[in-house]
Amino acid sequence: MLLYRCSLMVLLGLASVGSAGAEPLNVIVITADDLGKQLSCYGDDILETPHMDALAARGIRFDKGYVTQASCSSSRSSILTGTYPHSNGQLGLANHGFKMTPGRPNIVQSLQAAGYQTGIIGKLHVKPVEDFTFDFRRDSLECIRQTRDVVQVADWVDEFVESVDEEPFFLYLNYIDPHVPFIRDVKGYPTTPVSVEDVHAFRFQGIDDPEQLTSIADFYGCIRRLDEGIGLLMERLEARDLVDNTLLVFVGDHGAPFARGKLACYESSLGIPYFVSCPRLIEPGQVSQSLVSTVDIYPTVLDALGLDVPEGVQGESLVSVLKDSTQTVRNVLFGESNFHGGSASGYYPRRSATDGRFKLVLNLPSGYHENGDVIVDYDHAYDFSRAARYDGTWVRELFDRLAEPPRIELFDLRDDPNEKTNLAGNPEYAGVMQRLLSRLTDWMEETDDPFLTVDAVRAKYKMLEEEN
C-alpha cells in the first residue's frame, strides 16, 4: 500500500493538513474498555505502564480528559458522533434496547465520504449498527472477546492495513481489557501477573477487604496485558512506517468498573486517560490542563484533516490545543449519567459541571428514589462498607452518599481529588455552587435535555416501574 506522508507545509500547523498539496493523514482511534486513570503517566502508584506512557509522551497528554457518560454505549456514542447521549438518544446500553436517532452524522461516514478506507476491531456497542458502514469489520461478539488476545489484535491490524489500497485509512480499535470478567492470563499475557501484595485499596473507595484487593489485583493484571498489547501495536505500526503520518487518539471509554467509578459522575467515573499523537504534527512531551471530552474527538479529527464539521455536532475541535497545549476550548465541561440497563433499578440520571477546580454533581432523582447502581459489575464494595470496621469512617460516609445522594454535591478537586467532602452546604462555597449550577442548567436547556425538570425525571421512573 502507499504510505501517506506529510509535506513540509503540514509541519507549519495542524490547520494546514487538509490544504491542497498535503497528503492526508491516517487516523487511528483506540479505546480501552473501563480504563480510568490507572496509568503511571497519570501518577498511579500500583502499576508501571511503560507502553501507554510512551504513547502519551509521543504527543499531548490531557490531564483533564473526560467522557460524557460512564457507561459503555453512551460513551461510545459521543466518540463516534460528537454529541451527548441525552441529545443523540443512546441513553444506556445498546443491548438493553437503547439507540441513537437514525441517520445522525458520524466519523465513519464522514471519513468514507472523504475517501478513507475504514475498519473496526472490537466493540462498536451502539445502535443503529447500520449507520456505521465500516469497510473492514472484526466486531462480532467472538471478535470482541478475542481483543484480550493482544497478538491477535496486532495481527488484525496488519490484516486491515494490508487490505487498504491507495486510500488513507481510519481504524477504530477497541480493546475489551480491563472490562470484567478479569481474566488473569490470555495466551501468556500479561507476561508478569499482578498479585494482591502489589495493590492497595482504590483511593476513591477505601475498601481494603481481601476479596476487594483480589479484584483490584486482577483488574490491574488486565491493564498490564493491555499495556503490553499497545507495545505490540506500536511495533507493528513502526515496522510499516506508519507512525509518523498517523493521527492517533487513545482514550478509556470511562472509569474503572467499581462502585464510585463506572456509572457515576465522579472523577473516578468520567475521568480517563486521553492522549493524541502524530510525530510530524504534534510536538512530543506536551501536557495540557485544558478541559477536554471524548465528544471532541469527531470534530477534532475532521478539523485536523481540513474537513467540514456537520451541523449539530456538540463537541469542540481541539486543533488549537494540539498546536499549543496552553490553549483552551472551554471553561466549563459537562457530564451526565442516565441509564446503564433498561430497568428502574438502573435509572438514576445525574448531570455534572466542572471548571477544572470545582465539580458540581446534580442528582436529579434525589429524595424520590434511591440509586440502584451501588453494585457495579460484581463489585461488592458497597456491601463491604456496611461492616462494623467502617463505622464512623469516611468510607461509610461515601457509600451512604452513593446509595442516597443529596440533590447537589460540590467538590474542590484541587484539595479533594477523590471527592470525599461535599461542600454543597458550606456557605463559603455558595457562590461557586450557584455559578456552576447556573451554567449546568443553561446547558441542559440549550441541549434540550429530556430530564430538565423534576416532573420529567419522576414520570420516567414511574413508567419504568409499571413496565417492570
Longest CA–CA separation in the chain, Å = 70
Give domain 23-328's CATH superfamily: Alkaline Phosphatase, subunit A (3.40.720.10)
**Res 15 pLDDT > 80:** no
pLDDT in the model for residue 4:
36
Mean pLDDT computed over every residue of the chain: 94
Chain centroid to Cα 14, Å, comes to: 24
Q: What three-state secondary structure class fits 431?
A: helix
* 3-state DSSP assignment of residue 439: helix
Order of all β-strands in the sheet with 358-363: 333-339, 347-354, 358-363, 408-412
Least Cα distance to 226 among 137, 331, 153 occurs for 153
Question: Has residue 233 got a pLDDT over 70?
Answer: yes
Secondary structure (H, E, C), 383-414: HHHCCHHHCCCHHHHHHHHHHCCCCEEEEECC
Residues 106 and 122: their CA atoms lie apart, in Å, by 18
pTM of the complete model: 0.95
User: Which residues on neighbouring strands pair with residue 138, listed in sequence order?
Assistant: 121
Element (H, E) at 454: helix 454-467
Under the banding of pLDDT at 50, 70 and 90, the label for residue 467 is confident
Count CB-CB contacts under 10 A for residue 72.
Answer: 26
Cα 121 to Cα 127: distance, rounded to the nearest angstrom:
17
C-alpha distances in angstroms, 310 versus 2, 286, 315, 338?
Answer: 29, 29, 11, 26
Map grid coordinates 451526565 to a residue. 336
* N- to C-terminal Cα separation, the chain: 54
Confidence of residue 466 (pLDDT cuts 50, 70, 90): confident
Distant-in-sequence, close-in-space partners of 305: CB < 8 Å, separation ≥ 6: 17, 18, 24, 25, 27, 111, 114
Could you report the per-residue pLDDT of 186-229, keeping only the tens digit for each?
A: 999 999 999 999 999 999 999 999 999 999 999 999 999 999 99
335-467 has which fold? Arylsulfatase, C-terminal domain (3.30.1120)
Let me know: does 2 contact 18? Beta carbons within 8 Å.
no
Phi, psi of 65 (to 5 degrees): -95, 140
| Per-residue pLDDT at 9 | 30
Report pLDDT for 299.
98
Contacts (Cβ under 8 Å, ≥6 apart) of 148: 175, 176, 177, 183, 186, 222, 225
Stated as kind and residue range, the H or E segment containing 268 is helix 267-270
Domain limits, the chain: 23-328, 335-467
Q: Give the helix ranges, DSSP H, for 290-391.
A: 297-304, 319-323, 381-385
Radius of gyration of the chain (CA): 21
What are 379-435's pLDDT values in tens digits? Answer: 999 999 999 999 999 999 999 999 999 999 999 999 999 999 999 999 999 999 999
Asked if residue 11 has pLDDT above 80, the reply is no
Q: What are the φ/ψ torsions at residue 172 (nearest 5 degrees)?
A: -105, 105
Residue 22: per-residue pLDDT: 66
Using DSSP's 3-state secondary structure scheme, residue 282 falls into coil
Give the model's confidence band at 21: pLDDT under 50 very low, under 70 low, under 90 confident, else very high: low
Neighbours of 179 (CB within 10 A): 23
85 contacts 338 by C-beta, under 8 angstroms: yes
- Out of 166-170, 354-358, 401-405, pick the least confident: 166-170
